[in-house]
């Protein structure tokens, strides 16, 4: 209350007025809490309009490859990353990791300042020390590197200072000397056969591959693999084969095409091989055989030979100079070599640059013990992780959104990484760290990057090209140079694997090799094929589980070669019976924020840095009660209901539903009437849309215990269904956002008008009116509504507060929320159109999910405009509405999945 | 039992009880009514303007000098927020020479505020030819203006409902809430 | 306690003494202490709930309604029986037997409907905004949504609470005057006098009173709307388990059934505790038993009709719900509910059983939890297995939810004990009238 109450002589009228005024203030403050103060600029920066976002083209490196993005910033803070639509790779789409990269920028797990011996130190102290360290005893360990500037600096360090450079990238195969980069062209292939290959699965090339695949998703695809992958999930014929059996299949396949001797096969294997060969041979030059990086090199060579035989080389399979760099000089650059040298006392100083060998090392390689023999250990990375804990110095690095750098996309196209925000912490650029070792302690990372490009470009138009590269987000025509591949000689057949249980290793689809463990949105992202969150499991087949008496959730012990891990079991559909799958990336111990101590660490079983398989595994059930697992979707069968995911034969139509009568009058739409169509043929369940939606709409995470209770908050979910059919296991993905029903039961149920039908067809959810009766959710047959059972937004670490999209209301405890069709984007477009006095153009409004989708499975637009993309999609013969017989008349509809029987 | 006596008003005690109850209810209602009336009238009584860091007079700039609102609040046409002028805008008139004193950032106290869940866009209102004074009052006549009325939802709706053509859209929740 | 002397005592003395006699039995104190403790636990849980929100419950998506809603419709069901006995029979000539039971049945109704009303408020995400469900003018310019069954549910619950309270109180006025006249101390006299609104028993008083009391006709209608309102909240949604017009009568029938069982239990306990054998005779028990049997059979018929309708609809999801009920996750609960509600009930076909307090008590004791379980299956069944298998979910009530349920039981008992002790629990004047 204002000071009036203290004023001694208090006149009644004034008192009342003061009371009312403070009540009004309290009411206003109570509901809004907008800031009382306002501080204008002293000097105003150009282009900033408060309340309007600015977009900058940049890139996020992932495992050495650039993921091109446009970063949306509000008053200097990034809130969302979009794909760069002009970039040759991805066409504006992104994967889930890239969507979450902006969250990692704000992560509370990031280091705040340099540390020496765990105590705060100054960057200048290190810069002063650095020149002493450079020299023949210096080793640099990095992850995969594609950045031209980083390569230039590392090469200089090797060639000028005599240092050695090692590469350790646990989730991907390393580049091999003398071998080109291979680029499958899924868009050009009429038939694809994958031998334990997962081109559509997570990884640096996922966006490119899924986009290419979605050009014609109904092509024949044959997959043989030990554990179900996204590629296997959309395959026409899938064979569950142990990884150790895949080489046999490869040789059988090659033999059918006239290469080598045919090994004996089981019946189902022979049938699969015959069909796959028929599909490959039917389209010579337009087919593709892929052997996964998890298979031995000989098998990949064999696949190359088969492709050569089919005339696919240069057509569906391109080769280029390697996109990722290799240490110069042809030295042995593996982690094992480094550990060997450290143990031998041949290393004086070790710089670990954005790698975490102390956690990601394979079995039997005691990195920690070896590292302790190194007199100077320096770690440079975003977080104080397991490796940093072993080092004398820890130098926090800039996040890519704070840093100058450059990187190459999977096709080799280079792009400049520019900072879109000032560094949040006392961190440094990786380029500055290397420059300090090279004797330039004060180097500005921007100048270091410009140096790289100044050497490549003419001096006279350098500035113009530089500006253009920053504007576009990539440097045109820098794709990797194509090479002509000679068909390799046929590798000699290797002895068949003896039977027995094998374990295969896979990077986790959500936290990869552990590097994303600290990002809560990725932790809570349902793993596409299990819908599990926050932890990892051991996947095993139903038959094996039955023999061992193991149920999902039971703890099992997996042991091989003297090492053992205990982990919860998961009975996985489509799992080869002789295989168990272990997922990497969990069991983090340091610097992993919310990921610390979750799940189990599978690395101690891994046979080598790129070991994907270990044979002779023993599995036993441990005593103890089954632990509840944080699963988003416990029921993954269709329970005999065939009207949920509809399937049609090629060219067939979905029968139209009987018209449902309604007593309510029809709505009228003077303006646009929004709608969405989702193509089930295209969706590969990659989850990019799910994270994009969370970032755009400031959807908080709820944590594993709340997920286990069934309170996850994702506005958009991807439903997963398994169905055993005579022709094999079928996997269906069905993204389910709000249906925005024309006759919405929720609107009718809400007692306070908190969810109402909008004038453009949207089912509007008004948070500030909601009192939380939850009637709407009880009435929603799609169950797309999410409830704030607790103060989830408030419970997020405060560090993430700047990540929230300022155009979206933060939802309080006790209110319902759901997909809004990104109404803030519609509102922005509507305001612009209104100011120009024109209608909103088709494609002007793109929802976050649509924008992120690499498969272009989601179309959004105005249904009232017959020429719009979404209206045309609705005319497709495969078009249907989910649960249409209920008479809800959903605006989000589907195109049925095509299945060749 | 009480005997029945002719001539006595036998309903009197009962009536008295009812009157007491009625009095209590009336008193309670009166208290509520006074409180409501006070709160309601608060809208009509301008609150005293807060103490600002600079004794800036809108009456002088917008009234006497006749400056357009958008001269200082230039974002009103371009974006959701009208914005406050950068200090250099003030300086362009007050120190129209090269040498200007170093000025710290000004910390104004906001007088026109909306709750965070309400999304108001100045630019579209300017484009729709809504006069600034419609919401902000006669700023040109007030040295330190405060909004003439609290920005209540019903008050926004009053205006939105007068827009015949766009009424359906403007009347709806998502016009302002997201 | 039931000595021969008491039978010849005037009814008035016997009933009024319960409220007026100084000697309070230890049993009453014990019961009051127990239920008081439960009430305190209830209040503490409510404070905890309001401070932290409904996240402390086990509810989730899809099961976003849990024990709170189960309890609410269960309490509302109990509330119907008091009305049936009082209002409906008041309007039917020649049903004087009701006068022995109606007063405490009405008290039970008022308390039960209050308990039923507590849960919908507690279950809100933002209970502080509950008044938005009422048509109050505000600067928001937004009204309640009048198509929503919940809006009408709130209205009917409120109306039922207010009218049943008024009905109970108006009916009690003459007896309060009796208590005033018989009360010992001046303070007590003054208190009862206030409550009796200065009742003098004049012909004019009686005329006015009868006029007011006849308005009870409204109660019968309100009882129906109360249950239709509650049932429509479920039936209006598209959930296959709920979406049937049979639901309102189903809930009404089962409500009356469970309410009669509770009235019967209270009758038997009060009769035993206060030796009211002369007031509440074997004939009363016999009629109550018959009523319970009829209500139970009506409900059985309703349940059978719903099941038949689900099967006959040919809708696979309705059929699936039936199967789910019979052999699914809640099979045990379903069959337990059926057994509790309908098996012991069959004893009441025999007159001797109907006149045996022990048998009646056993039957009623089975029916009340049986109906609760039936409510549980009804609410949960509609949410746990909805249309999309991807959204099938589970639900386990937490300690907080059980505490709230137990707390309302305690609060009900607490308030009822106070009623028994301080207010006329049998309509003395009606009995006097009937026996005159």
C416 touches chain B (CB under 8 A): no
Q: What is the pTM of this model?
A: 0.90
CB contact under 8 A, A670 and B114: no
Q: Which of B117, B121, B146 should we substitute to test contact with A (largest number of A Cβ atoms within 10 Å)?
A: B117
In percent, the amount of chain B with pLDDT more than 70 equals: 83
- pLDDT higher at B11 or A766: A766
SS3 of B113-162 = CCCCCCCCCHHHHHHCCCCHHHHHCCHHHCCCCCCCCCCCHHHHHHHHCC
CB contact under 8 A, C203 and B1: no
Q: What is the mean pLDDT of residues C82-88?
A: 75
Q: Which of C16, C142, C166, C202 should we substitute to test contact with B (largest number of B Cβ atoms within 10 Å)?
A: C202
Q: What is the mean pLDDT of residues C321-328?
A: 82
CB contact under 8 A, A711 and C389: no
Q: Residue A277: what pLDDT?
A: 94
SS3 of A399-410 = CHHHCCEEEECC
Model confidence pLDDT, tens digit, residues C234-273: 998 888 888 888 888 888 889 989 999 998 999 898 888 8
Model confidence pLDDT, tens digit, residues C135-187: 888 888 888 999 999 999 898 888 888 888 888 888 888 888 888 888 778 88
CB contact under 8 A, B117 and A760: no
Q: Which of C141, C195, C204 should we substitute to test contact with B (largest number of B Cβ atoms within 10 Å)?
A: C141
SS3 of A593-646 = HHHECCCCCCHHHCCCCCCCEEECCEEEECCCCCCCCCECCCCCECCCCCCCCC
Q: Mean pLDDT over all residues of chain C?
A: 85
Q: Residue A216: what pLDDT?
A: 87
User: How many interface pairs between B and C have CB atoms less than 8 angstroms apart?
Assistant: 42
CA-based nearest distance B91→chain A, Å: 10
A584 phi/psi in degrees, rounded to 5:
-80, 170
Q: Cβ neighbours of residue A667 under 8 Å, at least 6 residues apart? A: A742, A757, A761
CA-based nearest distance A83→chain B, Å: 25
CA-based nearest distance B168→chain C, Å: 15
Contact map slice: C 377-396 vs A, CB within 8 A: 382-383, 386-394
Tokens representing A654?
A: 């979905």
B29: pLDDT strictly greater than 90: no
Model confidence pLDDT, tens digit, residues B14-23: 667 677 778 8
Q: Cβ neighbours of residue A739 under 8 Å, at least 6 residues apart? A: A763, A782, A784, A881, A882, A888, A890, A891, A892
Report the alpha-carbon distance of residue A365 to residue A344 in Å, rounded: 14
Contact map slice: C 337-356 vs A, CB within 8 A: none
C68: pLDDT strictly greater than 90: yes
Chain A residues within an 8 Å CB radius of B42: 17, 20-21, 23-24
Q: Which of A660, A690, A722, A774 should we substitute to test contact with C (largest number of C Cβ atoms within 10 Å)?
A: A774
Q: Residue A623: what pLDDT?
A: 86
Contact map slice: C 282-321 vs A, CB within 8 A: 316-317, 320
Candidate from C124, C140, C386 with C-beta closest to A772 = C124
DSSP character at residue C84:
I
Q: What's the gap between Cα A218 and its chain centre?
A: 24
Q: Residue C367: what pLDDT?
A: 94
Q: At what angle do helices C331-342 and C316-327 cross, to 10 degrees?
A: 80
CA-based nearest distance C124→chain A, Å: 5
Q: What is the mean pLDDT of residues C323-350?
A: 89
CB contact under 8 A, A769 and C63: no
Q: Is residue A504 within 8 Å of A293, Cβ to Cβ?
A: no
According to DSSP H, which parts of A214-329 are helical? 230-233, 246-256, 267-282, 297-310
Chain A residues within an 8 Å CB radius of C126: 770-772, 812-815
Q: Which of B62-66, C87-91, C194-198, C417-421 has the lowest mean pLDDT?
A: C87-91
Of A229-243, C268-282, C417-431, give the range with the top mean pLDDT: A229-243
Tokens representing C339?
A: 């057994």
Residues paired with A733 in a beta bridge? A720
Element (H, E) at C178: helix C149-182
Q: Residue A793: what pLDDT?
A: 94
Q: Is residue A566 within 8 Å of A556, Cβ to Cβ?
A: yes
Report the alpha-carbon distance of residue A382 to residue A395 in Å, rounded: 8
Model confidence pLDDT, tens digit, residues B129-153: 899 888 888 888 888 887 777 888 8
> What separation, in Å, do the N-terminal and C-terminal C-alpha atoms of chain A show?
75
Report the alpha-carbon distance of residue C299 to residue C253 in Å, rounded: 5
CB contact under 8 A, A781 and C387: yes
B137 touches chain A (CB under 8 A): no
CA-based nearest distance B78→chain A, Å: 7
User: How many interface pairs between A and B have CB atoms less than 8 angstroms apart?
Assistant: 148
Q: Is residue A878 within 8 Å of A653, Cβ to Cβ?
A: yes
C141 touches chain A (CB under 8 A): no
Q: Residue B18: what pLDDT?
A: 73
Going from the C-alpha of A538 to that of each of A229, A589, A599, B14, the distances in angstroms are: 15, 20, 10, 80
Model confidence pLDDT, tens digit, residues B41-71: 555 445 677 888 888 899 999 988 989 998 9
Chain B residue with minimum CA distance to A765: B178
Chains touching chain B, criterion 3+ CB pairs below 8 Å: A, C
CB contact under 8 A, C61 and A816: no
Q: Residue A528: what pLDDT?
A: 95
Nearest to C258 by CA among C213, C215, C291: C291
Q: Residue A7: what pLDDT?
A: 35
| CB-based burial label for A204 (10 Å; 0-12, 13-18, 19+) | buried
Q: Residue A16: what pLDDT?
A: 35
Residues A137, A140, A146, A147: is their CA dihedral positive or negative?
negative
According to DSSP H, which parts of A40-198 are helical? 96-106, 123-133, 148-161
pLDDT averages per 10-residue partition of chain A, 901 residues? 35 36 35 63 81 93 94 93 92 94 95 93 91 89 93 92 90 76 92 94 94 90 95 93 92 90 90 94 92 88 91 91 83 86 93 94 90 94 94 95 94 94 94 92 92 90 92 90 83 72 94 94 96 95 93 92 91 94 94 92 86 90 84 90 89 84 85 94 95 96 94 96 90 96 92 93 93 94 95 94 93 95 94 90 94 95 94 94 90 92 64
Chain A residue with minimum CA distance to B115: A32
CA-angle at C264, arms to C263 and C268, nearest 5°: 115
Q: Residue A25: what pLDDT?
A: 36
Chain A residue with minimum CA distance to C142: A753
Report the alpha-carbon distance of residue A21 to residue B50 in Å, rounded: 13
Contact map slice: C 153-172 vs A, CB within 8 A: 154
C81: pLDDT strictly greater than 90: no
Q: Residue A450: what pLDDT?
A: 94
CB contact under 8 A, B154 and C197: no
CA-angle at B138, arms to B137 and B140, nearest 5°: 135
Q: What's the gap between Cα A246 and its chain centre?
A: 27
Report the alpha-carbon distance of residue A690 to residue C288 in Å, rounded: 60
Q: Mean pLDDT over all residues of chain B?
A: 80
Chain A residues within an 8 Å CB radius of B87: 40-43
C50 touches chain A (CB under 8 A): no
Q: ipTM score of the complex? A: 0.91
């Amino acid at each position: 209350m204002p000071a009036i109450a203290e004023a001694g002589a208090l006149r009644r009228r004034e008192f009342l007025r003061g009371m009312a005024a403070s009540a009004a203030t309290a009411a206003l403050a109570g509901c809004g809490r907008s800031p009382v103060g306002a501080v204008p600029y002293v000097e105003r920066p150009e282009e900033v309009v408060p309340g309007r976002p600015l977009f900058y083209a940049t890139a996020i490196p992932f495992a050495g490859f650039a993921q091109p993005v446009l970063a949306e910033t509000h008053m200097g803070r990034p809130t969302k990353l979009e794909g760069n639509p002009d970039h040759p790779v991805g066409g504006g789409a992104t994967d889930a990791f890239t969507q979450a990269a902006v969250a990692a920028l704000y992560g509370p797990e990031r280091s705040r300042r340099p540390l020496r011996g765990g105590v705060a130190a100054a960057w200048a102290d290190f810069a002063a020390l650095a020149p002493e360290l450079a020299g023949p005893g210096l080793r640099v360990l990095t992850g995969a590197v594609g950045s031209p500037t980083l390569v230039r600096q590392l090469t200089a360090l090797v060639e000028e200072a005599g240092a050695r450079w090692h590469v350790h990238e646990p989730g991907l195969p390393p580049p091999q000397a003398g071998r080109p980069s291979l680029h499958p062209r899924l868009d050009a292939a009429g038939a694809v056969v994958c031998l334990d290959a997962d081109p559509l699965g997570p990884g640096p090339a996922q966006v490119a591959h899924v986009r290419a695949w979605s050009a014609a998703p109904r092509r024949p695809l044959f997959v043989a693999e030990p554990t179900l992958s996204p590629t296997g999930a959309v395959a026409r014929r899938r064979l569950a084969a142990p990884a150790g059996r895949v080489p046999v299949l490869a040789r059988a396949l090659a033999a059918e095409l006239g290469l080598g001797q045919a090994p004996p096969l089981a019946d189902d294997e022979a049938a699969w091989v015959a069909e796959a060969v028929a599909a490959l041979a039917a389209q010579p030059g337009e087919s593709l055989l892929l052997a996964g990086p998890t298979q031995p090199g000989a098998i990949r060579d064999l696949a190359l030979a088969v492709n050569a035989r089919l005339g696919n080389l240069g057509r569906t399979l391109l080769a280029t100079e390697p996109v990722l760099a290799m240490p110069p000089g042809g030295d042995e650059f593996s982690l094992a070599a480094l550990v060997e040298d450290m143990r031998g006392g041949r290393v004086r100083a070790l710089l670990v640059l954005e790698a975490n060998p102390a956690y990601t090392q394979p079995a039997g390689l005691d990195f920690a013990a070896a590292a302790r023999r190194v007199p100077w250990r320096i770690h440079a990375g975003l977080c104080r992780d397991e490796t940093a804990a072993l080092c004398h110095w820890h130098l926090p690095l800039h996040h890519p959104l704070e840093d100058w750098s450059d990187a190459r996309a999977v096709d080799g196209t280079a792009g400049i990484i520019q900072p879109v925000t000032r560094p949040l912490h006392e961190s440094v650029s990786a380029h500055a760290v290397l420059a300090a070792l090279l004797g330039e302690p004060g180097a500005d990372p921007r100048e270091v990057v410009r140096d790289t490009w100044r050497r490549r470009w003419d001096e006279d138009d350098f500035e113009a090209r530089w500006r253009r590269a920053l504007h576009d987000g990539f440097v045109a025509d820098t794709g990797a140079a194509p090479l002509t591949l000679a068909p390799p000689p046929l590798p000699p057949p290797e002895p068949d694997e003896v039977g027995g249980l094998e374990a295969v290793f896979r990077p986790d689809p959500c936290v990869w090799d552990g590097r994303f463990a600290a990002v809560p949105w990725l932790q809570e992202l349902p793993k596409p094929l299990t819908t599990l969150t926050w932890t990892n499991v051991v996947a095993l087949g139903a038959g094996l589980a039955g023999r061992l008496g193991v149920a999902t959730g039971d703890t099992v012990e997996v042991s091989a070669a003297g090492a053992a891990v205990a982990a919860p079991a998961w009975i996985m559909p489509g799992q080869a019976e002789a295989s168990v799958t272990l997922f990497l990336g969990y069991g983090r111990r340091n610097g992993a924020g919310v990921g610390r101590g979750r799940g189990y660490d599978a690395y101690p079983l891994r046979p080598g840095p790129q070991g994907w398989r270990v044979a002779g595994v023993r599995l036993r059930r441990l005593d103890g009660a089954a632990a509840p697992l944080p699963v988003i979707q416990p029921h993954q069968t269709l329970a005999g209901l065939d009207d949920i995911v509809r399937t049609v034969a090629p060219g067939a139509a979905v029968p139209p539903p009987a018209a449902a009568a309604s007593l309510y009058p029809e709505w009228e739409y003077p303006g646009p009437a929004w709608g969405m169509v989702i193509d089930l043929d295209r969706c590969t369940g990659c989850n990019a849309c799910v994270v994009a939606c969370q970032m755009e709409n400031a959807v908080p995470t709820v944590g594993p215990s709340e997920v286990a209770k069934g309170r996850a908050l994702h506005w958009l979910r991807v439903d997963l269904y398994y169905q055993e059919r005579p022709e094999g296991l079928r996997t269906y993905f069905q993204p389910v956002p709000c249906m925005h029903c024309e006759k919405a039961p929720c609107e009718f149920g809400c007692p306070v008008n908190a969810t109402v039908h909008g004038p453009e067809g949207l089912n509007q959810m008004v948070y500030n009116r909601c009192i939380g009766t939850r009637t709407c959710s009880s009435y929603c047959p799609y169950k797309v509504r999410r409830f704030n059972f607790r103060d989830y937004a408030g419970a997020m670490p405060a560090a993430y507060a700047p990540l929230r999209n300022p155009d979206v209301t933060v939802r309080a405890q006790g209110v319902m929320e759901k997909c809004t069709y990104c109404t803030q984007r519609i509102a922005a477009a509507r305001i612009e159109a209104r100011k120009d006095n024109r209608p909103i153009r088709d494609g002007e409004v793109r929802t976050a999910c649509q924008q992120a989708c690499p498969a272009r499975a989601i179309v959004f637009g105005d249904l009232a405009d017959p020429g719009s993309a979404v209206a045309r999609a609705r005319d497709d013969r495969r078009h249907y509405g989910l649960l249409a017989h209920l008479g809800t008349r959903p605006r989000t509809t589907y195109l049925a999945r095509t299945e060749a029987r | 039992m009480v005997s029945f006596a002719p001539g006595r008003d036998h309903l009197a005690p009962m009536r008295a009880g009812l009157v007491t109850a009625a009095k209590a209810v009336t008193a309670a209602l009166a208290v509520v009514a006074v409180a409501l009336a006070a709160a309601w009238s608060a809208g009509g009584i301008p609150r005293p303007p807060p103490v600002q860091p600079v004794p800036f007079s809108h009456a002088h700039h917008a009234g006497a000098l006749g400056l357009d609102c958008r001269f200082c609040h230039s974002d009103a046409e371009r974006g959701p927020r009208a914005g406050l002028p950068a200090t250099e805008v003030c300086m362009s008139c007050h120190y129209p020479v090269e040498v200007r004193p170093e000025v710290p950032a000004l910390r104004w106290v906001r007088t026109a505020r909306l709750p965070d869940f309400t999304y108001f866009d100045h630019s579209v209102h300017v484009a729709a030819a809504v006069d600034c004074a419609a919401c902000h009052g006669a700023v040109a006549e007030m040295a330190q203006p405060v909004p003439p009325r609290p920005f209540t939802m019903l008050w926004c709706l009053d205006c939105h409902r007068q827009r015949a053509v766009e009424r359906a859209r403007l009347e709806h929740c998502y016009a302002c809430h997201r | 306690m039931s000595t021969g002397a008491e039978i010849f005592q005037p009814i008035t003395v016997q009933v009024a003494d319960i409220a007026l006699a100084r000697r309070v039995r230890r049993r009453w104190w014990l019961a009051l202490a127990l239920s008081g403790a439960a009430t305190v636990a209830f209040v503490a849980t409510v404070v905890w709930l309001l401070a932290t929100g409904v996240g402390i419950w086990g509810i989730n998506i899809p099961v976003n309604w849990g024990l709170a809603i189960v309890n609410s419709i269960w309490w509302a069901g109990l509330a119907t029986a008091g009305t049936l006995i009082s209002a409906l029979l008041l309007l039917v000539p020649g049903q004087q037997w009701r006068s022995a039971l109606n007063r405490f049945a009405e008290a039970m109704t008022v308390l039960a409907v209050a308990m039923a009303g507590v849960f919908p408020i507690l279950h809100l995400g933002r209970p502080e905004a509950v008044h938005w469900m009422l048509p109050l003018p505000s600067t928001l310019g937004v009204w309640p949504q009048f198509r929503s069954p919940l809006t009408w549910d709130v209205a009917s619950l409120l109306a039922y609470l207010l009218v049943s309270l008024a009905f109970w109180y108006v009916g009690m006025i003459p007896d309060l005057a009796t208590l005033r006249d018989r009360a010992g101390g001046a303070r007590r006299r003054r208190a009862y006098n206030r409550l009796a609104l200065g009742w003098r028993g004049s012909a004019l008083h009686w005329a006015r009173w009868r006029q007011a009391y006849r308005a009870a006709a409204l109660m019968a209608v309100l009882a129906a709307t109360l249950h239709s309102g509650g049932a429509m909240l479920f039936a209006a949604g598209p959930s296959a388990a709920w979406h049937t017009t049979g639901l309102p009568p189903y809930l009404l029938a089962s409500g009356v059934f469970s309410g009669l069982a509770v009235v019967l239990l209270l009758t038997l306990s009060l009769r035993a505790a206060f030796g009211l054998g002369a007031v509440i005779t074997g004939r009363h028990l016999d009629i109550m038993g018959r009523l319970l049997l009829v209500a139970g059979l009506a409900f059985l018929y309703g349940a059978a009709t719903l099941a038949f309708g689900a099967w006959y609809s040919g809708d696979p999801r309705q059929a699936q719900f039936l199967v789910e009920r019979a052999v699914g996750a809640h099979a045990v609960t379903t069959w337990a509910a059926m057994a509790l509600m309908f098996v012991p009930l069959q004893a009441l076909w025999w007159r001797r059983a109907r006149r045996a307090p022990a048998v009646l008590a056993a039957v009623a004791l089975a029916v009340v939890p049986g109906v609760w379980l039936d409510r549980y299956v009804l609410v949960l069944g509609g949410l746990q297995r909805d249309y999309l298998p991807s959204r099938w979910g589970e639900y386990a009530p937490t300690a907080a939810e059980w505490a709230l349920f137990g707390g309302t039981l305690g609060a009900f008992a607490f308030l009822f004990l106070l009623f028994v002790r301080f207010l006329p629990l049998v309509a003395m004047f009606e009995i006097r009238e009937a026996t005159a």
